[in-house]
Chains A and B, each alone.
Chain A
Amino acid sequence: MTAILPPRGAADRLTGLFWRRPSLLLFLLITPPLLWLGVVYLGSLAALLLQSFYSIDEFSGVVKEEFTLKTYAELFRPQNLDIILRTLVMATIVTLTCAILAFPIAYYAARYAKGPWKAAFYLGVMLPLWSSYLVKVYAWKLILAKEGIIGWAAEGTGTGFIISGILSIPGLEGSSLSTSPFGTYLVFVYIWLPYMILPLQAALERVPTSMLEASADLGATRGQTFRTVILPLAMPGVIAGSIFTFSLTLGDYIIPQIVGDSSRFIGLAVYQLQGTAGNIPLAAAFAVVPILIMLVYLGLAKRAGAFDAL
């Protein structure tokens, strides 16, 4: 028997070719997905940018395919600035609420849950994360309706005054929670909460127990340990989670459409402008706003070291 076997066919020859030219195989593997993402996705993003520099003829309603900054200037009209500001405020308070609610769940799952409980917690977060978005939003429509379960429970326990109290706060008015901005806020928090829990849990799991023991050993109270050890180490996880909650709130247009007082958010503006209004250039310009906000946000998050926790 010789030391070198002869190639048995085309497959052997091709394998030899790939071995001699590893970059050829890499090229063959990466080209189809790169073409897809490059053409379909980046191409579309380029089209979005292009559209945002077009304008619409005010009389005929036809898109004028000429470069102009006029459409972007329209974003600075008071009613449009209002939309952007409202969206930013909502995204901020939703993100903060998610961080607060997520902390005990993530902390318990990371630190105390063992064996089957760990799996249960994991599934308990994963299932709501992945299960139908629309169905979850719909469930809240049922819950927040005037005649729904919350109203029923409030009536039964005599706590209806709390709801009417919330609904009488200026800015949160509505005939029921389901038509109040407070309802919109609740649903946002509910839908995006799992996106905060998972990275936070991942960050907390990286805090070694010995470090907490060392802190306690050095005389720190539980509160001090939390403030000086756990919280700083959890911050990258919170920031990573906030990227999701912030970005998703910025772009969502289904939730404010179904729950709330139909005041407009960026996503809803984009949707309505491209649809019924037929003003694709302005819709495109609106869609560029979250991209810019997220770029700034990601830049800040990167500086804070959040990407190690993703």
Chain B
Amino acid sequence: MRSEASWGLKAAALGGLLFLHLPILLIFLYAFTTEERTYQFPPPGLTTEWFAVAWNREDIWPPLYLSLKVAAISTALAMILGTLVAAAMARARFFGRDQISLLILLPIALPGVITGMSLRSAFGIMDIPFSTWTIVLGHATFCIVIVYNNAVARMRRLSGGIMEASADLGANAFQTFRYILLPNLGTALLAGGMLAFALSFDEVIVTTFTAGQQSTLPIWMLNELVRPRQRPVTNVIAIVVFAATFLPILIAYYLTRGGNDTAGMGK
């Protein structure tokens, strides 16, 4: 067995990675193009004016606020609920444990269109009007599993003995939580929260079913894609949305690096 890969394998692997990354880089180039009506390549000229134009477009700010608001609330809810489930599941085996883990996974395992259509059906039956909270309901549901995965992976890595050691030394359950569990779980929870935020901020499939007439930034972008107005402005917003997802992922990666529980295995 050769310990060196063949050139063919190397080329295929590298080619695959390039295939994954080059299209994203193109977005950055297009944000500077002077061409407004088509996707002409190469761009006839480069300019930075679109950033200023995007900044002054008033229809962008409300969707941005709504997206941030929804992502913040959903992340907070998912962090609480996800941590609670993880804490419960890390304890002894109990009846129904497997069913619960399936239930947590389901919102992300089934296509988003099902989650979206289900919520839409429920709102219809119960006559619930669309609001920020109808969006949050959907987002928090599929963010729980992200936080849960991160927390559970870290708990598995922690030596179970340290919780007992804390009790043995005289700490009550709350002191053990504060002085032992939280410091050891902190970065994993933060990473989970980052990923949940990224996922929520970017989500469009479930959101279209739960937003009604409201517009989050991804919905705004989707509308621009279907009926383009100022293409380079859309390109600028694409960079913003991309950065809002890219940076949290990178941070989450560095927070959980060095273990088998590296963030993101469970999108």
Question: In the complex, is A directly touching B at CB under 8 Å?
Answer: yes
Does B140 touch A at the CB level, under 8 Å? yes
Residue pair B113, A132 in contact (C-beta under 8 Å): no
CB contact between B110 and one of A12, A123, A134, A251 (< 8 Å): that residue: A251
Determine if A67 is an interface residue (Cβ-Cβ < 8 Å).
Answer: no
Tell me the B101-138 residues at the A interface (CB within 8 Å): 103-104, 106-107, 109-115, 117-122, 124-126, 137
The answer to whether A134 and B222 touch (CB under 8 A), given A30-B88, A251-B114, is yes
- Establish whether residues A132 and B120, one from each chain, have CB atoms under 8 Å apart when the complex forms: no
Check if B159 is an interface residue, CB within 8 A of chain A.
no
B20 pairs with A193, CB closer than 8 A: yes
Question: What B residues does A280 contact at CB under 8 A?
Answer: 120-121, 124
Docked-complex contact B249 and A131, CB < 8 angstroms? yes
Give Cα A14 to B172, complex, Å: 9
Contact mask for chain A residues 28-46; partner B; CB cutoff 8 A; 1 contact, 0 none: 0110111011101111110
Q: Which of B39, B91, B205 contacts A141 (CB 8 A)?
A: B39
Q: Is the CB of B103 within 8 A of A42?
A: yes
Contact B106 A141 (CB under 8 A): no
Please state if B39 and A145 are interface contacts (CB–CB under 8 Å).
Answer: yes
Interface of A is mostly: helix
In the complex, the answer to whether A152 meets B41 with C-beta atoms within 8 Å is yes
Q: Which residue of B lies closest to A114 (CB)?
A: B3
Q: Which residues of A contact B234 (CB under 8 A)?
A: 138
| A45–B118 CB distance below 8 A | yes
| Residues of B within 8 A of A (CB-CB), count | 91
Report A-chain residues with C-beta under 8 Å of the C-beta of B113.
251-253, 266-267, 270-271, 287, 290
CB distance from B126 to the nearest CB of A (A): 8
Expressed in whole angstroms, the Cα–Cα distance for A195 and B20 within the complex equals 12
Question: What residues of B have a CB within 8 angstroms of the CB of A151 in the complex?
Answer: 41
Asked, given contacts A15-B173, A43-B122, whether A29 binds B117 with beta carbons under 8 Å apart, the answer is no
A-facing residues in B200-221 (Cβ within 8 Å): 202, 204-205, 208-209, 218, 221
Closest residue of A by beta carbon distance from B92: A22
- Alpha-carbon distance between A44 and B124 when the two chains are bound, in angstroms: 10
**Partner-binding segment picked from B52-60, B78-86, B179-187:** B78-86
In A180-201, the 8 Å CB interface with B consists of: 190, 193-195, 197-198
A254-B204, A274-B120, A284-B117 are contacts. A124–B20 as well, Cβ < 8 Å? yes
**Are A36 and B204 in contact, with the CB atoms below 8 A?**
no
A51 contact set on B, CB distance < 8 A: 121, 124-125
- From 100 to 152 in chain A, residues with beta carbon under 8 angstroms from any chain B beta carbon are 101-102, 104-105, 107-109, 111-112, 119, 121-143, 145, 147-149, 151-152
List, in ascending order, chain A residues with CB within 8 A of B221's CB: 134-135, 138
If A131-B246, A251-B110, A290-B110 touch, whether A108 touches B144 (CB-CB below 8 Å) is no
Inter-subunit contact A134/B85 (CB<8 Å)? no
Q: Which of A32, A125, A131, A134 contacts B84 (CB 8 A)?
A: A32
**Contact call B13/A291, Cβ cutoff below 8 A:** no
Interface residues of A (CB under 8 A from B): 5, 11-12, 14-15, 18, 22-23, 25-26, 29-30, 32-34, 36-38, 40-45, 47-48, 50-51, 63, 101-102, 104-105, 107-109, 111-112, 119, 121-143, 145, 147-149, 151-152, 190, 193-195, 197-198, 209, 212-213, 216, 243, 247-248, 250-254, 257-258, 266-267, 270-271, 274, 280, 283-284, 287, 290-291, 294
Some 8 contacts from A to B, beta carbons below 8 A apart, are: A5-B170, A33-B84, A42-B103, A63-B124, A134-B222, A135-B202, A138-B221, A267-B111
For the complex of A and B, list the 10 residue pairs with the smallest distance between their C-beta atoms, beginning with the closest.
Answer: A251-B111, A104-B12, A108-B13, A44-B118, A47-B122, A29-B88, A15-B172, A145-B39, A139-B23, A105-B16
Interface residues of B (CB under 8 A from A): 1, 3-5, 9-10, 12-13, 16-17, 19-21, 23-24, 26-27, 30, 38-42, 80-82, 84-85, 87-88, 91-92, 94, 100, 103-104, 106-107, 109-115, 117-122, 124-126, 137, 140-141, 144, 170, 172-175, 195, 198-199, 202, 204-205, 208-209, 218, 221-222, 225-226, 234, 238, 241-242, 244-246, 249-250, 253, 257, 262, 264-265, 267
Given contacts A30-B88, A127-B246, 19 further A-B contacts (CB under 8 A): A15-B173, A18-B173, A34-B100, A34-B103, A36-B140, A37-B141, A40-B137, A44-B115, A51-B124, A121-B13, A123-B253, A129-B264, A132-B244, A134-B238, A149-B26, A252-B111, A271-B113, A280-B121, A294-B111
